[in-house]
Amino acid sequence: MKIEQLIVQYLYSNKKVSLQNIGTFTLLQDIVLPAESDKEAILPDNAIQFEYNTKAGQDDGLIDYIVQQTRKIKPLATSDLESFTILSRQFINIGKPLTIDGLGTIQKNQAGTYDFIQGHTLSPKGEPAAVALKEKENEAIDFSSPPRKQSGNRWILPLLLIFIVLGSLAYFYFRFNENKKNAKEEMVSTTIVDTPVVKKDTSTAAKLNSDTVASAPVVKKDSFNFKIVIKEYPSKLLAEKAFTKLSSYGHKLVMYPKDSVSYKIAMPFMTPLSDTLRARDSLKIFFGGKPYIEIN
C-alpha cells in the first residue's frame, strides 16, 4: 500500500492527520462514511477540513499506523513519510497540484499559501496483508546482512593474538642474539686480558722508530702451542707499521716472514689446541678480517 493510501485510511479511522510543513486534515465527527461495498460511495461535501500550517510536525500516530500496516521498522517508516511530504511540497511550490485519491487536491494560490479542494471519491483500503507479508520477507533479507558483517569481526581477536605472538618471538630472538654477541665480546676481552700487557713508557713510546720495529720478537716454536694469524702484509714496511700500532695497544704479537717478500702478524697462544676455534672466532670479532690458525 502506498503512503498516500495509508494517510487517507488513517484519516478515515482517526478523524485527523497532519503532514509535516503542509498542514492538518480533519474529518468532521458527524460525517458517516459510506460502506466500501457501495459502488456509488462518495464523500459528502465539506467532509474534510484543511488547515494550512508550515510549522506542522510529524504525526506520530500516522507513523505508528504505517509501521503496523507495512511491518517496517519505525525509522524506515518515518523516512518514507518524510520523503513523501518533501516531494509533495516541491510539486506544490512549482505550481503542480498534488492530488490524493480519497482526500482531494492541494495547490498553491497567488498568496503563496496552500488551498485544499476536497475530492468525493472514497479511497479503498486495499490489501495491506499481502503488502505486509512482502515487506516482512524483504526485511528478513535486509537483517540477514548485519550478522554476516559481525561474523567477520570475530577474526580480529585471533589476528591480534597472532601479531602479539610474532612480536614476542621477534623480541626474544633479538634479545638472544644480543646476549650472544655480548658473550662473544666478553670472550674477546677475556682473551686479550689473559695476554701479557706491555707497560707503556711515555719516554720510550715517543722514541718508537724503525729501529724499535726491527727488534720484533723472533718466533720460537717452543714458546706456544699454536698461533692465530691476524693479517698478512705484502711488504716488511707495512708489516712493521701494523705491528707497532697493534703492539702499542698492549697485545702480545709476533711478526715473521711468509716468503721472501710478504710478512705475517699473529698472536701466540699457550692454551690447549682444543681452544683454537674459540680463539680464532674471538680475534675475528675483535680485529675483523679472516684470521686463521697455524699449529706450532
Mean pLDDT by 10 residues, the chain (296 residues): 88 90 87 63 83 91 92 92 91 90 89 88 59 44 53 74 90 81 54 41 42 45 71 90 84 86 87 78 79 82
CA neighbor of 265 nearest in space, from 223, 236, 227, 231 = 231
Whole-number pLDDT of residue 37: 58
Using alpha carbons, list the distances in angstroms from residue 41 to 9, 35, 37, 101, 179.
Answer: 15, 7, 8, 13, 98
Give the pLDDT confidence score for residue 147 in this predicted structure: 54
Closest by Cα among 134, 131, 128, 130 to 13 = 128
pLDDT at position 276: 77
- pLDDT for res 151: 54
Using CA atoms, how far apart are residues 215 and 73, in angstroms rounded to an integer?
103
Q: What pLDDT does residue 121 have?
A: 80
Instruction: Write down the pLDDT at residue 275.
Output: 74
pLDDT, residue 206, reads 39
The grid coordinates listed for 266 are 699473529
C-beta separation of 103 from 49 below 8 A: no
Predicted pLDDT at 74: 92
Instruction: Give the separation between CA 52 and CA 23, rounded to whole angstroms.
Output: 4
Question: 238: part of which helix (H) or strand (E)?
Answer: helix 236-247
Taking the C-alpha atoms of residue 132 and residue 126, their distance in angstroms, rounded to an integer, is 12
Separation CA 249–CA 251 (nearest Å): 6
**Per-residue model confidence (pLDDT) at position 283:** 78
Dihedral sign for Cα atoms in the order 44, 47, 52, 56: negative
Q: pTM (2 decimals)?
A: 0.42
Amino acid symbol at 64: D
Q: Are 75 and 147 in contact (CB under 8 A)?
A: no
Going from N- to C-terminal start, the domains of the chain cover: 3-148, 155-194, 196-295
Helix (H, G, I), strand (E, B) or coil at 246: helix
Q: Which residues of 10-29 are buried (b: 16+ CB within 10 A; e: fewer)?
A: bbbeeeebbbbbbbebebee
- The answer to whether 54 and 106 have CB atoms below 8 angstroms apart is no
Question: What per-residue confidence (pLDDT) applies to 187?
Answer: 52
pLDDT value at residue 182: 64
* Inter-residue contact 52 to 28 (CB < 8 Å): no
| Chain centroid offset of residue 131 CA | 43
pLDDT on residue 179: 72
Q: For position 16, what pLDDT does the model report?
A: 92
How far apart are the C-alpha atoms of 239 and 266, rounded to whole Å? 11
